[in-house]
Structure 1
Amino acid sequence: MELTDKPRFFKLPAGANSHQLPFAEIAETETSKEIVKSSESDAFYFRGLEQQGIKLNRSQIDAVREVSGPLLILAGAGTGKTSVLVCRTGYLLRVEQVAPQNILLMTFTKKAADEMKERIASLQDVEKRQAIQVEVRTFHSFFLQILRHSGYRHEMVTNDKFKQIILKKKMRELGLADEIQPESVLSLLSFYKMNGKTIKNMPEKSQADKEIKQLAAFYEQWKKENNKLDFDDVLTEAFSLLKHDERLLKTLQQRFQYVMVDEFQDTNPLQYELIKLIVAPQNNLCVVGDDDQTIYAFQGAKNDIILNFDRQYPEVKTVVLTINYRSTSPIVGLGNAVIRQNKERKEKQLQSTRKSSVVPIYFRPWSTDEEAEWIAEEIRRKVNEGGSQFKDIAILHRTASNSRAIFEQLALDEIPFFDYGMGGHFFYEHSSVSPVLAYMRLALNPLDWHAFETILPTLYIQRESGMQQVHAEQIRNPRQCLIDHLVVMRSLKPYQLKSIEQKRKLLQQLPSLEPKEAVMRIRRQFFDKYLETNDRQTDTTQKESMKEQLDELEASANRFEKLADMLNFIKDMKLRHEQMKNVANDPEADVVKLMTIHKSKGLEFPVVFFIGASEGIVPHVTAIDVKKYEDMKLKITAEAEQFKALEEERRLAYVAITRAKEELYISSPVFYRGKKIEVSRFIKDVFTLEEKTTTLNRTGKVRESSMEKRKVYAWICTSSNCIAWQRIESHEEAVQLSKNCPLCSSPMEKGEKHV
């Protein structure tokens, strides 16, 4: 019996020893209709909302009515925070008679700001003229307007590609290594600036640190000389302006007497400081957010800003929104059970308004490729049976490399989809992957100029100078292999000549190898070491991400017999990737959405596939592994960082779960990056109970101990007269199609055993 003949989907995750499914409580149905009595002075406002179909629950009413002083609204996933902000704005206008120009509502995206404006204008009791005068802005547009009014005429630099080109040109001028990633320089610079630091605070310990700092300083100087500002400068310049211009600050404070901030958990320290300046001294500040959804630490967002809000404003009033209107009770219940394991959070237990017998479904494929096959089949089945459309479905993943297999499977099965992940980068074009493929392409076509240019940094030769010399040599003395020209380059050092000779031999060997063996040989001979010793990539997370991408490349290569087959397949996938851009701006396109969990925050989908819920993926390996420091202070710091990282990873899992409205599938691959991995602790912890076993100690007394039963994957003999089974320990065994019993020679099948 083949594995595919067995059930794939289960109501419990693999390894569960508790069969109790978590369900959220069903919330009370009382709304403003019953809660707000007609005799109350503000009843007219709530009656008007009810006529529009807006019926607020008790906590939402409290949040709307609380208008003076600092207010923290903790809005759990799907609890209607946007409705509260819109209705609270209307309440200020109609009930409190606040002038619209005295209200400031801050959001993080233009899309959110536009939606807020539309919904405020649609309120029955609010005049359109009033709605227009309410200041609803993103942080950057609001503070840019202040700078413009203060005489700043700088041109905005908003194109990331353009900024990267500026840095690349400078790198060529300075002769800096090609391995430095301009986007990493810009990201690091942004992190420092948003935390109130400057280039002076950037490290200079290694040569790489010095080069990165030099490029950051050049970029800042280039903007200054060319009268440019980027988004980070808008905030830093505004902060400097308000700190030194008391008259301007007082004007803003007098005008914006009521300030609201949406998605407060995503606030970085500089944004928070700006808000505190504007709301003083009245402090009529309302912040809305969910500490359980703080997932942007890499962008500077700090969870302790929302957690410690009451320390900054001791007189704060707190309202907790706990009624989830988005998801069914089983989905909300699972989200509750996962996130309650976090220690640093505001305690809240979400309720649901939607009963359902459809519970989250778990599956445990052998690999990410099998995971992709199963999901594609299930999507096709759901759509063919008429229960879902493609646009109802989202597939959420942790990192860019986690989407490689599902991207390819959807394309192969001709399932319409759009990949929203990682800024549209194609997996095979990542900086860690493209050089390996370039060696394969150059092995098949030694005159491939693009592939040749790509491999030059791995030969420790600067791209621009190397290409110029080889071009000149090929015109003067044409050869069949471009790499042959390198040995005549002047001023090459012995280690460079040795490297070139090794790569020439490797290129001769590659065409006879299967793709997986070719990838492994390139990595083993030099590429892994090259990445590891390249101190231009000092970030441990970045290096781990590169290894992850290379492991995923190996997994992809395993499906092909010849290099040409794999390279042609990649070319076809690249074409599919380009074709997807046609539906990027059509929100109603009937396509499956493929996106990172980070990208999915704030969105919702009828059906969600949360893939890669395994140890090393979610939570990511960089959050699990702690360096073994000898110095105790460093060890304590490392453990504290790991604690924070794991809590954020659990919040990521929570965000993924709570995007689902009706159906949720959670996949936990058995093998990843060539290793066997466990079901994610975030899922496993929900369904793990200790089982007591009774034993006798040496004195004969009864002793109870805890033992956890768990499933293991195994080859099991099909003969009814044989009890033999063997545990599956490797990826090779997992993908093996058949096996005979070592005891009775009968066929064995893949299955599970409890140990």
Structure 2
Amino acid sequence: MGFLSKDEFFEVVEEISGKRLNKNQKKAISYPLKPLKVVAGPGSGKTEVLVLRALYFMTVKNLPPKSIFLVSFTRKAANELLSRIVSYCGKLKEINRSISLEPYELYCGTLHSLAARVMDEFQYGKYEKYRLISDFERQLFIYREFSEEIERGEGPFFEAFKREDDTPLSRLSLLSFLFDFLTQNMVSEESLKESSNEVLAQAGNLYSKYVKVAKNNRFLDHSLLERMFYKFLKSEEGKLFLNGDGSDYFPGIKAVLVDEYQDTNPIDEKIYFKLAEGSKNLTVVGDDYQALYRFRGAVVECFINFERRCKKALLKNSKENPGTVKLLENYRSDKSIVAFINYFMKKHRKNKEFSETWKKLSTDKKVLWNSGIDSFSELKGAVFEVKGSNELLADFTAKLVKSLKDRGVIEDYSDAVLLLPSTREKDYEGKKTLAALIREKFEEEGIGVYNPRSKAFKERKEVYTTVRALLRIVPPHTSMDNELLLNLKAGKEDSSFPQDLLEELKRGLLKGELSILEAFYRLIPPLIGEFKKLTEIEKFNLARLSQLISAVENLARKEIDKFEDLEEKLRELSEELSLDVKEPEGLSSEERERWLRLITSRLLSFVEFYRSFLPLLIGGEVDQEELPGVPPSYFPLMTIHQSKGLEFPIVLVGEVDGVSSDMRLSKFEDLFKDFLPYRVENSWERSAIDAVKKFFVAYSRAIYALVILIKDRIDYDEKRPWKSAAFPGFDHDGNSKFKNLFIKRLESEAGKDS
């Protein structure tokens, strides 16, 4: 028996939140402890439903918090879920003293964070020997271990994916993608190696080498972490976690809830079914119209076919079938915005060229307006189109947002957002993009712009200045790219750092008395003095740079174990770096061993600084550190992927012809089709449909107004249909026809009468 009855529960939570739950929300929250699929459209309150379903399990069904496994797609979303649950629990305890819950015992987080937490808690022997590495450290590692393959790019696999702008960094990206793709789809390296297809065989050999090298170096990337977690769930320790032992400390897993299930990949699916194997209590929430992460291995069929897949995995000996609840009422957006997104999807679904693929990759549905926001009556619409050159659109955006703020329409610049397929500030030809032009226009107006995924991390003043200073003090190595260094050192000498400090740090590094990271921290105080007062963004970027430098030193420390004779390696490195490293006198044998390891790893980090760190930092695409939220008084530029799960009063969407097809992914799906757990068909059509879904997500972020920025000239290409995905019905003549139809159909498309 729980703390509350079902009716008491709904009465209390509605009193706490001040909001009334609709019939389908209540149905999803109180559905029996059985498999359930919740189809949740944009603005439908799915986060609240997940929170209240977990709370319902604890207060009505009396499930211990430690028996609930709640998964979200991002750390930010997971923190929001847990924060709401904690808040509800606190208020419930005030209302009903008999309620005693410890919500922090709940397993709530991303799948990666939960996998690491669980294996650590249950002292899984295999996991204890490994270390989870960051994405940048992984890139450094691949760059080092596959240096020959990356430099030469030889063999049928590399030939199959050769690009016009083929470079070592593009081949690094290819290998990184290959290793993730094969792990996420649970493809066996041995089966590939045995293939008569030379491309597959080389791919299998490359993947086999990666897995072995990762094992030998005792590291896990995020995909390998999931693979290990699945193995853990089948181990003795995993059985204790899943089934419990009857005690309060090990209650077992009695409920699994998964958010954003449309972006699940095959290994994730296996894990979720295994987690729910005993309880059969699996709730998945998602929306196939918002499936965005195919490029990261997500397979939307996991969500589309959930009922059938779950029946086979969890209910094969039962007459019962998984339940389905639809949450389609939109509590976020203006009436005409809801009408717009309905019309937008309807026209695309009716396109004859793609209609059959649409049926396989989504379910037909209509978003229902229930926000009460109706700008249409006063403004004759909340969806607007602005057409012009990129320069004109940038000028318009800056003036519009500034005017809205000046007139008090929005309280802060962060109440508006510009969403783009990509927010990089230079295209692949080095030309300025719309994102760069808009940033410049806002800065002319004295308004800061927040764009952490601009791919311009290396160009931030605080980053560039610090890296140049490090170049002046880190001992040079023969592996350094001279052209790269000349570009970095070009221009006026920076005066941010006192010369005597640089000389002191250089001497410390030359003698092996300082690490690069220690020197970096010594550079920060004068940098703060030069910039007077660092902004939050500058602080986070310097923290990000310290993480990247730390990754280099971690890599060097791990490499130490490879050398049998550290003294010989130290002499070799000292000669390569032209260093005069002297051993301190009076060391015991144990102290000498520690000193040898420390100094050798430092010298190895100097080598890696030039050999891999600088090429990846300067030539790669390192993003800035993302803040927990948009800083006040900044105007945010976001990728459409970043905006997932967010909402803004004013949304502008640009670069509507800027969506590209992921040709590499399509080739991967075709090449490995016989080894994938899902047979991927219609890869070409998927690219167009993926683009449409991307704009559906962008358009549905808007609360009061949606402004679509369109270039005055867009060159459409019938061979690349995703280029026109932003427009309803692939209407290449623009939106004038759509606009007239849209106004006529407003009432019926909004779905209010439904």
Higher share in strand: 1
1:333 matched to which residue of 2?
339
User: Which residue is 1:179 aligned to?
Assistant: 168
Q: Deviation at 1:85? A: 1.1
**Residues 347/154 of structure 1: CA separation in 2 closer, same or farther (3 Å cut):** same
Write out per-residue CA displacement over residues 665-696 of structure 1, whole angstroms, 9 at most, x where no aligned residue. 01221335899999964454369799xxxxxx
The answer to whether residue 63 in structure 2 is matched with residue 98 in structure 1 is yes
Question: Contact (CA 8 Å) 1:49, 1:55: kept in 2 or not?
Answer: no
Instruction: Please state whether the residue corresponding to 2:92 is helix, strand or coil.
Output: coil
Find the counterpart in structure 2 of residue 669 from structure 1. 711
Contact 2:336 2:383 (8 Å CA) reproduced:
no
2:397 match: 375
Deviations 1:313-339 (A, max 9, x none): 351111111111111111122112222
- CA deviations 1:575-604 (Å, max 9, x no partner) are 9xx9x9699456342111111111211111
Out of 67, 76, 81, which is 2:32 matched to? 67
Q: Quote the Cα distance in structure 1 between the aligned partners of 2:20 and 2:716.
A: 53
One-letter amino acid of the structure 2 residue matched with residue 405 of structure 1: L
In the TM superposition, residue 176 of structure 1 has moved relative to its aligned partner by: 2.3
SS at match of 1:333: helix
Relative to the length of structure 2, the TM-score reads 0.60
Work out the CA distance in 2 between the residues paired with 1:147 and 1:212. 30
Pair 1:345 & 2:362 matched: yes
Q: Which letter does structure 2 place at the counterpart of 1:657? A: Y
- Alpha-carbon distance change, 110 to 625 in structure 1, aligned in 2, over 3 angstroms: closer
- Looking at secondary structure, tell me which structure has more helix per residue: 2
Q: 1:51 aligns with which of 12, 15, 22?
A: 15
CA deviation digits over 1:703-728, x for unaligned, max 9? xxxxx9899xxxxxxxxxxxxxxxxx
Secondary structure in 2 matching 1:346: coil
The residue aligned with 1:323 is 329
CA-based RMSD = 4.1
Q: CA deviation at 1:419?
A: 0.8
For 1:604, the equivalent position in structure 2 comes to 647
In the other structure, the counterpart of 1:226 is 217
1:167 aligns with 2:142: yes
Q: 1:361 to 1:624 in 2, by over 3 A?
A: farther
Which residues of 2 match residues 629-668 of structure 1 at below 5 A? 640-668=682-710
Decide whether the 8 Å contact of 1:70 with 1:284 is kept in 2: yes
Q: How many Å separate the matches in 2 of 1:624 and 1:221?
A: 25
Q: Does 1:252 align with 2:242?
A: yes
- In structure 2, C-alpha distance between the alignment counterparts of 1:337 and 1:624, rounded to whole Å: 32
**Cα distance change of structure 1 residues 412 and 70 upon mapping to structure 2, 3 Å threshold:** same
Distance 1:256 1:336, change over 3 A: same
Give the Å deviation of 1:387. Answer: 1.8
- Work out which of the two has the higher radius of gyration on C-alpha atoms and give 1 or 2: 1
Residues 670, 678 of structure 1: 8 Å contact kept: no
Counterpart residue number, 2:187 = 197
Tell me if structure 1 keeps the 8 A contact 2:716–2:732. no
Maintained 8 Å contact 2:653/2:707: yes
Encode CA deviations 1:482-513: one digit per residue, 9 max, x unaligned.
xxxxxxxxxxxxxxxxxxxxxxxxxxxxxxxx
SS of 1:311 mapped into structure 2: helix
How many residues of Structure 1 are paired with residues of Structure 2 in the alignment?
Answer: 505
1:622 and 1:215 map into 2 onto residues whose CA distance is 22
Alignment partners' CA distance in 2, 1:426 and 1:251 = 44
The structure 1 residue matched to 2:81, chosen from 104, 108, 116, is 116
User: Which aligned pairs between 1:434-473 and structure 2 lie closer than 5 A?
Assistant: 449-450=482-483
Match of 1:411 among 423, 426, 440: 440
* Change beyond 3 A, Cα 1:153–1:113: same
2:109 alignment partner, SS class = strand
Aligned to 1:242: 233
Aligned AA (1:322): L
Match of 2:477 in 1: none
Within the candidate set 387, 397, 403, 2:409 is matched to 387
| Cross-structure match for 1:356 | 375
After the TM superposition, which residues 260-275 of structure 1 pair with which residues of structure 2 at under 5 Å, given as runs?
260-275=257-272
2:116 to 126, 140, 144: 144
Matched, 1:296 2:339: no
Cα distance between partner residues in 2 of 1:239 and 1:678? 39
Moved more, 219-228 or 666-675: 666-675
Q: Under a length normalisation based on structure 1, what TM-score does the superposition of the two structures give?
A: 0.60
Task: Identify the match of residue 279 of structure 1 among 276, 281, 284.
Answer: 276
Question: CA deviation digits over 1:416-466, x for unaligned, max 9?
Answer: 1111326655799xxxxxxxxxxxxxxxxxxx95359899xxxxxxxxxxx
CA distance 1:583–1:601, shift in 2 (3 Å):
closer
Cα pair distance change 1:393/1:89, threshold 3 Å: same
CA deviation vs aligned residue, 1:240-262 (integer Å, no higher than 9, x gap):
2334x367336504511111111
Alpha-carbon offset, residue 143 of structure 1? 1.9
Deviation at 1:230, TM superposition (A): 1.9
Shift of 1:236: 0.6
Q: Does the C-alpha gap of structure 1 residues 320 and 422 become closer, same or farther in structure 2, counting only changes over 3 Å?
A: farther
Assess, with a 3 A threshold, how the Cα gap between structure 1 residues 626 and 190 changes in structure 2: closer, same or farther. closer
| Counterpart Cα distance in 2 of 1:80 and 1:675 | 39
- 2:688–2:722 Cα contact (<8 Å) kept: no
* SS at 1:313 equivalent: helix
CA distance in 2, matches of 1:212, 1:188: 8
Equivalence for 2:637: 594
Question: Which letter maps to 2:42?
Answer: A
**Alpha carbons 2:452, 2:624 under 8 Å: kept:** no
Alpha-carbon distance in structure 1 between the residues aligned to 2:35 and 2:84: 24
- What SS does structure 2 have at the residue aligned with 1:394? strand
CA 1:94 to 1:167, structure 2 compared with 1: closer, same or farther past 3 Å?
closer
Counterpart AA for 1:348? K
SS in 2 for 1:365: strand
**Cα 1:356/1:409, change in 2 over 3 Å:** closer
The answer as to whether partners of 2:691 and 2:722 remain within 8 angstroms in 1 is no
CA distance, structure 2, for counterparts of residue 160 and residue 259 of structure 1: 28
Distance in 1 of aligned mates of 2:666 and 2:265: 26
Contact 2:650 2:705 in 1 (8 A): yes
Distance 1:709-1:90 versus aligned 2 partners, 3 A rule: closer
Gap regions ≥5 residues in structure 1: 1-39, 429-447, 456-573, 628-632, 691-707, 712-755
Q: Given that residues 69 and 253 in structure 2 are in contact (C-alpha distance below 8 angstroms), is that contact kept between their aligned partners in structure 1?
A: yes
Taking the aligned partners of 2:737 and 2:79, their CA distance within structure 1 comes to: 53
CA-CA distance at 1:391 after TM superposition: 0.9
Counterpart-to-counterpart distance in 2, 1:157 and 1:142: 13
SS in 2 for 1:421: coil
1:680–1:582 distance in 2 versus 1, CA, 3 Å: closer
Q: Which amino acid aligns with 1:154?
A: K
Q: Distance in 2 between matches of 1:625 and 1:101?
A: 39
Equivalent in the alignment of 1:613: 656
Q: In the aligned structure 1, how far is the partner of 2:12 from the partner of 2:76? A: 26
1:368/1:58 CA distance change after superposition, 3 Å: same
Aligned in 2, Cα 1:128/1:666: closer, same or farther, shift over 3 Å? farther
Where structure 2 has 5 or more consecutive residues not aligned to the other structure, the ranges are 94-98, 153-166, 245-251, 312-320, 350-357, 461-480, 489-616, 668-672, 740-754
Q: Is 1:156 aligned to residue 131 of structure 2?
A: yes
Following superposition, the deviation at residue 76 of structure 1 comes to: 0.5
* Whole-Å separation in 2 of the counterparts to 1:292 and 1:387: 31
The match for 2:452 among 410, 415, 420 is 420
